[in-house]
Chains A and B, each alone.
Chain A
Amino acid sequence: MITTSVLSMLIPAWAAGLAAKRMVGPENSAARIGAWFILSASLIVLPIQLAAALQLLGIIARIRLAVPAVVGGALLVLFLIRDRGSHTDRASTAGLGRVGSQAGRGAVIQAAVIVGSTYGIVALDRVTGFPSSWDGVAYHLPLAVRWLQEGSLALPATSDWRESLPGNAEIIAMLALGTGWQALAEMWNVVSALGLCAGSYLLARGMGVGASGALAGGVLVASLPLVLFETFSAYVDLFGSACLIASLGLVVASRPPATASLADSRVLALSGLGCGLAVGTKPTLWPYAALVAVGVVAALIWSKAASRRRPRLSLIFLGATAAPCLFWFVRSLAATGNPFYPLAIEVPGLLSLAGFRPSEITDPDNYLNFVRSRGEWLLYPWIEFKRHRSRLSTGSGLGPVFAAFVPIGLLYTLWSVRRLDPGPPRAVRLACLGGLGLGMAIWWVAVHGTPRFALPLIVLACVLAAPFLDDALRVRPRVTRALLVSAALVSALLSTLPTAQELPRRVRHQLWERHRFYDVPRLIDQLPACSIVINYNPEDEFWNNFALAGKRLANTVVPPWAARRALDHPPDSACPIYLFDREPFMSGEDAAHVEAKGYARIDLPLETRWRVWQRTVR
C-alpha cells in the first residue's frame, strides 16, 4: 500500500506538470504552478471518485489506491509519445508573461524570505511530529482513515454530518496517510499554499499590477497566519480557497474577460476544474464558487467573442466545474434523497430535504470566540480578539502585514479604479471589488462564524491591495520597504513562538513515538488487526479519534458521537471490541452500564489517564 500511495501522489503530479506546460506554456511560472496545482489535485481526485462510484454501484469490491497512478501513468505515456513527434501544443498565454515593473523587487524579496522562514520553522515542527490540527484529528483525518480501511467513500450508517461532507481534500489526505508517513496528511497542503500564492499573483497581474506589486500581493497572502497554520494542518479551507483563487487567477490573467479575444478553452477547463474542486471540498465555499462561476460565465457572455462560441465555452467551464464535485451530490442523493446532505434544505411550502441546519453544524454564537459583537468585525484586523486561545492559529489571525497594508490598500484601489483607462485591468479590479463586496455580504448573512470561512475573501482583499503596494514600491521605495519588512518581522515573531516552544518540549519529553505524542496508551499500537475501538469520551475529546487508530491505522475507531449507539448495539463483527475512556472518566453509573454490556476492564498499571475495557461476550 505504501508504494502504491506514493506512486499515486507522484505520478499524477508528474503528469500534471507536463500537462500544465502544454496548456499554459513554460514562460510564466505562476501560471504553470496554478495549472499544475489544479491538474495534480484533479488527477488524484477524479480517478478515485470514479472508482468510488463503481464501488457504490457494486461493480468493484473496493477502491484501489493505484487508480490515480494508473490514470496519471497513462497520461504521462501519452504526453511523452506526443512530445517525441511534435512541439508542445500549448494554449496562447497572452498576458501571462508580461514582465512589468521591477521596482521594489528587493524589498519584496526580503519580506518573502522573512515570511518563508516562518514556513520553514513551522514545517520543521510538523515534519518531526504527527498530525495535530484540531478539526483534522477530530474528523477530517479519521474520515480519510475510514475510507482507507473500507475501500469505499460510502456515507456512514451514523449519517453524522462530520462524516458526510464532500471530501476532495480528504481523498488526497487518504493517499497521504497510505504512504505511511502520517505527517504528510498535513504537509501536502504546502502545495495548496503554492497554488494560492500563484493564483494571487496571476490575479494581481490581471489587474495590471507590475511583477513586484503582484509578488508583494503573494507575500501579503502568505503572511496571513491563517494561511501559514492551515498550510501545515488537515483543515480543508486552504485547499478549497487555493482552488478557487487559482481558478480565478488563471482565467483572469490568461485572457482578461473584457478583451476582444476568446478565452482559451483549455484555460477555461482548468479554471472550471479548480472551481469544482472547491465545491467538492466544503459547503462554506459554495457561495464563493457560485460567485466565481457566475463571474466567468458573465465575462464570457459580455466578451466580444463570436456569439456562436459563447455557449460552447460556457459549457466547457461549467462541465469542468461539475466534474470534481458531482460525485458528492449524487452520493448524498442516492443515500439520503437530499443531494446537499448533510445540509438540510427547507423552502417553506415547497421543499423539505432532511439534514442538519447550519446552526447544528456551527454554533450560531461561534463568532463570539473572535469578536465581542458583530460590529467588532470591522476592527478585527487590529484587535484579533480571541476568547479562548490568544495565539495565532488555524482558527483565526490576519496578522500585522494585513493590518498594515490591506485596509488602506483596498481604499486606494477603490479610489484609483476611476482613474484607470477602460480596459481589462480596470474591468478585473471592478469585478474583484464587486465580488469582494458581494462575498462579504454573503459571509455576513449566511456563512459567518469564523474568519477561515471567509478565506477566499481575505485573499481577494490582499490581492486588491497589490495595486497600492505596486505604486508605493515604485514611488516611495524606502518607506514602503521599511514598513513591509517591519510588518513581516513582527508577523514572523508572533507566528513562530508557539513552534519555538513546542519543539524543545518535544525534545525534552522525547515525544517521537506516536502514542507518546498523542498521550494514548501504548496498547493502542499493539491491538490485534481489525480491532474496533470505541472512543468513549465527552464530545470535547474528539482529539483522540485519529490517535486511537494506532500507528498502523489498523484500528476502526468509533467516534464519541457514535459511542453510545455502538455500546448499546455492538457492531456485528468478529473483530475484538475495545472501549477507551480518557480522564475525566465516565461516571460510576456509566461504568456499570459498560460492564453490564459485557465489557471487562483491562488493567493498565502504568496508565492513569486512560481506562480500557474489552468486550468479552459475543
Chain B
Amino acid sequence: MDSDQQSSGRLLDRLLAGCGGSLVAYLLVSHTVRAFLAEVRRILEKVLATVGGS
C-alpha cells in the first residue's frame, strides 16, 4: 500500500468518524427525534394506563 492510499484511508477513517458524530449529534439535538421520543412516551403511558386500568 503506498503512502497516498494510506493517507486516503486515514482521511476516510476520520471522515467516517465525523459521520458517526454527525449522526449522534442529530439524535441528540434534532427536534424531530425529541418529538418522536415524546410521542413514544405518550403512547407507552397510554398503554400502561390501559393495562393498569384493566
Contact = CB atoms under 8 A, between A and B. Distances in A.
Q: Is B one of A's binding partners?
A: yes
Interface of A: 381-386, 390-392, 397, 399-400, 403-405, 407-408, 411-412, 468, 471-472, 475-476, 479-480, 483, 486-487, 490, 493-494, 497, 501
A501 B38 CA distance: 14
B10 to A, nearest CB: 10
Contact of A475 (B8, B25, B34): B8
A11 to B, nearest CB: 42
A483 B20 CA distance: 7
B32 interface: yes
B31 A404 contact: no
Given A385-B31, A390-B34, 17 more contacts: A382-B29, A384-B30, A386-B31, A390-B32, A391-B32, A391-B36, A400-B30, A403-B25, A404-B20, A411-B15, A475-B8, A475-B12, A476-B12, A476-B16, A483-B19, A483-B23, A487-B23
Given A384-B32, A392-B32, A404 B23 contact: yes
B19 to A, nearest CB: 5
B23 to A, nearest CB: 4
Contacts of A408: 15, 18-19, 22
A403 B12 contact: no
Contact of B12 (A386, A405, A411, A472): A472
11 contacts: A382-B25, A382-B30, A383-B30, A385-B31, A392-B32, A408-B18, A472-B12, A475-B8, A475-B9, A494-B36, A501-B39
Contacts of A476: 9, 12-13, 16
Given A382-B25, A382-B26, A400-B27, A405 B19 contact: yes
A68 to B, nearest CB: 40
B9 A383 contact: no
A475 B35 CA distance: 36
A381 B43 CA distance: 27
Contact of B16 (A391, A407, A480, A494): A480
B16 A390 contact: no
Contact of A493 (B19, B30, B34, B36): B36
B33 interface: yes
Closest 7 CB pairs of A and B: A390-B35, A403-B26, A404-B23, A384-B32, A404-B19, A384-B30, A408-B18
Interface of B: 8-9, 12-13, 15-16, 18-20, 22-23, 25-27, 29-36, 38-40, 43
Given A390-B32, A408-B19, A497-B36, A381 B12 contact: no
Nearest to B18: A408
A382 B12 CA distance: 21
Given A472-B15, A475-B9, A476-B13, A382 B22 contact: yes
Question: B12, B16, B19, B20 — which one has the most chain A CB atoms within 10 A of its CB?
Answer: B19
A404 B25 CA distance: 9
A404 B21 CA distance: 8
Nearest to A487: B23
A602 B12 CA distance: 71
Nearest to B36: A494
A392 B33 CA distance: 10
Contacts of B33: 494
A405 B15 CA distance: 9
A471 B12 contact: yes
Main SS of chain B's interface residues?
helix
A250 B15 CA distance: 31
Contact of A468 (B15, B23, B30): B15
Contacts of B20: 404, 483
A475 B34 CA distance: 34
B35 to A, nearest CB: 3
A490 B35 contact: no
Nearest to A397: B32
Contact of A494 (B9, B13, B25, B32): B32
Contacts of B25: 382, 403
B31 A384 contact: yes
Contact of B23 (A386, A390, A400): A400
Nearest to A386: B31
Contacts of A397: 32
A315 B25 CA distance: 49
Question: B19, B22, B32, B33 — which one has the most chain A CB atoms within 10 A of its CB?
Answer: B32
B23 A486 contact: yes
B31 A390 contact: yes
A411 B11 CA distance: 12
Nearest to B39: A497
Contacts of A385: 31
Nearest to A406: B22
Contacts of B38: 390
Nearest to A490: B27
Contact of B26 (A386, A404, A411): A404
A379 B13 CA distance: 23
A407 B32 contact: no
Contacts of B31: 383-386, 390
A392 B26 CA distance: 14
Nearest to B25: A382
A407 B15 CA distance: 10
B26 A381 contact: yes
B25 to A, nearest CB: 5
B28 to A, nearest CB: 9
A475 B7 CA distance: 12
A403 B9 contact: no
A285 B36 CA distance: 32
B22 to A, nearest CB: 5
B26 A400 contact: yes
Contacts of B19: 404-405, 408, 483
Given A403-B22, A497-B36, A412 B29 contact: no
A483 B16 contact: yes
B44 to A, nearest CB: 13
A480 B9 CA distance: 13
Contacts of A400: 23, 26-27, 30
A472 B8 CA distance: 10
B21 to A, nearest CB: 9
Question: B30, B39, B43 — which one has the most chain A CB atoms within 10 A of its CB?
Answer: B30
